[in-house]
Structure 1
């Protein structure tokens, strides 16, 4: 399939459950677990344990309905406001938050988090903390000046964005434009945590291929610095799984703060 025919996540949408099953389910752990689950959990643990990223409000702007990247955050922020583009993602996420029948099972991710933190005794308490923090799931429109209109959000102490920029940006100028919009939701001096995939072109969900922006570590770094961020940590992990679902070569994790 030619890349020009690839669909865009934020325009066309996809089956959110199929995406979760494919990349984040317990069954998928043997294929994708080291990259999609363990790497972000480990990096977030290391970042938050440094102790300087904390506060009242975190805003999450991430792809799909994943929540495993928020297990560490709930210990350091009272409120996590999740912004989603698609109603299906909101419904999927709320199903888990409200413990509804048929919700995606994240127990394996919680267990991984407990193992990484060496604190398996507090597994159930951890899931409860995440659910308590995730009481605000808000629809957003990326093209509006105020993405959450008519709601005016308070500025966040920290924003985490996991692989969303990669899927919504048609080119590098788009990436920078959206990064700038995300940055406006952040307090001066606030922190941004970015997780992305490097040198990728597509993701397959079901029968459809979805666009991923191709970029490298140097571009990610320069984009953040260009928007007034100071990079505090950057980790790159080469791809470990073998699958034709997506063609990325590495994962990137960046923690940065916005200059006052």
Structure 2
């Protein structure tokens, strides 16, 4: 195996967004990440949004790759979803699905999974259609800029969902906290941050490429959020259920927090 100095970095090197989806999110029989990567976010977000406390006008999605299954529940409580992506290939892949173009990645299995977790699944209708309708913009962002969507100025968000992006763009603890601060600036006072991550991870593989992942534990994530002015409302950790050499995480984490007013 390559050592960490040879790992590619998600936002600095070429990232094959389609191959990433095929490895970690497909409905193929050999895709082993169903419980940890598909079911874990779908179930936790369904339970959280069902309480009814988190809703509003604008939700920002800042996540790794171009997956959509984590937005099913959000699309029932937010009319406007703005998706921010660092990589052009991720933007093209997501837009292909939003526009229902030929060759778009198939998400039907995750839509079914979402409906199976709902008590009133017969009333859900078209989960994918709701997400497509809610996604108002897919925007290129640069987290090194003061205004990450320059020249576009976004209205402060009521909620941000971020799935594993901090894990892959952060090279160390200082980076993680610096990017977390950038996320916070996109939120209204009192706004909610819904954060997913992979614990104790060092790499993930896409095709022939091995990518860096910042290694951290639950305690660090909690301290980082509190240090940046967030109040943690809920935290769930699930130990790894997967046998695969594609990624070496030990568990997955979900933290729901809100920004102090």
TM-score, normalised relative to structure 2: 0.97
| Counterpart mapping for 1:129-208 below 5 A | 129-208=130-209
Shift of 1:120: 4.2
Q: After superposition, what is the alpha-carbon deviation per residue over 1:193-212, rounded to whole angstroms, capped at 9, x for unaligned?
A: 00000000000111110000
The alignment status of 1:109 with 2:110, answered yes or no, reads yes
Change (3 A) 1:28 1:82: farther
**Aligned counterparts of 1:252 and 1:87: Cα–Cα separation in 2:** 27
Q: After superposition, what is the alpha-carbon deviation per residue over 1:172-199, rounded to whole angstroms, capped at 9, x for unaligned?
A: 1000000000100000000000000000
**Aligned counterparts of 1:209 and 1:256: Cα–Cα separation in 2:** 31
Question: Structure 1 stretch 117-126 or stretch 42-51: which is displaced more?
Answer: 117-126
Aligned to 1:215: 216
The structure where helix makes up a greater share of residues is 1
Unaligned runs of 5+ in 2: none
| Counterpart mapping for 1:121-132 below 5 A | 121-122=122-123, 124-132=125-133
The alignment status of 1:86 with 2:84, answered yes or no, reads no
Asked if the contact 2:85–2:141 (Cα under 8 Å) also holds between the matched residues in 1, the reply is yes
**Aligned counterparts of 1:24 and 1:107: Cα–Cα separation in 2:** 11
Q: After superposition, what is the alpha-carbon deviation per residue over 1:141-178, rounded to whole angstroms, capped at 9, x for unaligned?
A: 11111000000000000001000000000001000000
Aligned to 2:67: 66
Question: Structure 1 stretch 160-169 or stretch 28-37: which is displaced more?
Answer: 28-37
Q: After superposition, what is the alpha-carbon deviation per residue over 1:67-87, rounded to whole angstroms, capped at 9, x for unaligned?
A: 000000001101000000011
Shift of 1:121: 3.4
**Aligned counterparts of 1:72 and 1:217: Cα–Cα separation in 2:** 25
Count of aligned pairs between the two proteins? 260
- Partner SS for 2:126: helix
Asked if the contact 1:6–1:211 (Cα under 8 Å) also holds between the matched residues in 2, the reply is yes
Unaligned runs of 5+ in 1: none
**Aligned counterparts of 2:40 and 2:192: Cα–Cα separation in 1:** 20
Asked if the contact 1:21–1:28 (Cα under 8 Å) also holds between the matched residues in 2, the reply is no
| Counterpart mapping for 1:15-94 below 5 A | 15-27=16-28, 31-94=32-95
Asked if the contact 1:111–1:123 (Cα under 8 Å) also holds between the matched residues in 2, the reply is no
Q: After superposition, what is the alpha-carbon deviation per residue over 1:117-156, rounded to whole angstroms, capped at 9, x for unaligned?
A: 1444356522211100012100001111100000000000
Q: After superposition, what is the alpha-carbon deviation per residue over 1:216-238, rounded to whole angstroms, capped at 9, x for unaligned?
A: 00000000000000000000000
**Aligned counterparts of 1:130 and 1:25: Cα–Cα separation in 2:** 18
Aligned to 1:14: 15
**Aligned counterparts of 1:24 and 1:206: Cα–Cα separation in 2:** 14
